[in-house]
Amino acid sequence: MKIYGLQKMTLLDYPGHVACTVFLGGCDYRCPFCHNFELAEGTAPAVMDDGELLAFLSKRTGLLDGVAITGGEPTLSKGLPDLLARIRELGFSTKLDSNGAHPDVLARILEDGLADYIAMDIKNSPAKWAQTVGREHVDLAPIRESIALIKTAAPDYEFRTTVVDQLHEESDFHAMGEMIAGAKAYFLQSFTDRDTVPFAGLSAPAPEKLRAYAEIARAYVPNAQVRGVD
């Protein structure tokens, strides 16, 4: 199994854990604000295979306590359940990032107890979801299925939205709040421009606008917070 990136230590990607972050390739979305677009479109070279990753992790027991799997979209990788199982055999807690488009994979992972924490992206309101992920049409039934599954079956979880000033407005947070109403946690994080972002001209909302969006979301998810903005 190919691994496309490894951040050897992070205190941010897995809440409450000293972790590393593993990047898998491929994605069914083409979000114009994506930081890892080369992973999404499959042009990035692999940096190691799963054997090399596990060898690295075996030397980090006692130094790291968690592994975050992200992408791209990890649930597209057929070897994901096996990789998670092998990571857990080494004694690490596991976090999985997902866009929620493949609830069947999430269901298997949760049924087999392979993920301790799920972070699912809520891209935008249903009316603007396809536009926000760079597709002409997106079937939201799997998305809603994943939301329900995570809320009922994940040991711990969060929903999150990367907020882009050109893509999000107040009404969207009412609609997204309705989608995840009653969830344990919802985080709004501000878009940050980088050289790897595929579309120019996108910008972050002002901090006060982001806080106003979070206040709207709290009507649906009381634990709605802004992440990474003072």
- The model's confidence at residue 38, banded by pLDDT at 50, 70 and 90, is confident
Q: Phi and psi of 109, rounded to 5°? A: -60, -45
Question: Which residues lie below 8 Å from residue 158, measured CB to CB, with a gap of 6+?
Answer: 15, 117, 118, 119, 120, 184, 185, 186, 187
Q: What is the arithmetic mean of pLDDT over 119-142?
A: 97
Per-residue confidence (pLDDT) for residue 43, from 0 to 100: 80
pLDDT tens string 175-187: 999 999 999 999 9
Superfamily of domain covering 2-227 = Aldolase class I (3.20.20.70)
pTM given for the model: 0.94
The answer to whether the CB of 79 falls within 8 A of the CB of 46 is: no
Does 171 score more than 90 pLDDT? yes
| 139 to 13, 15, 145: CA distances (angstroms) | 28, 30, 11
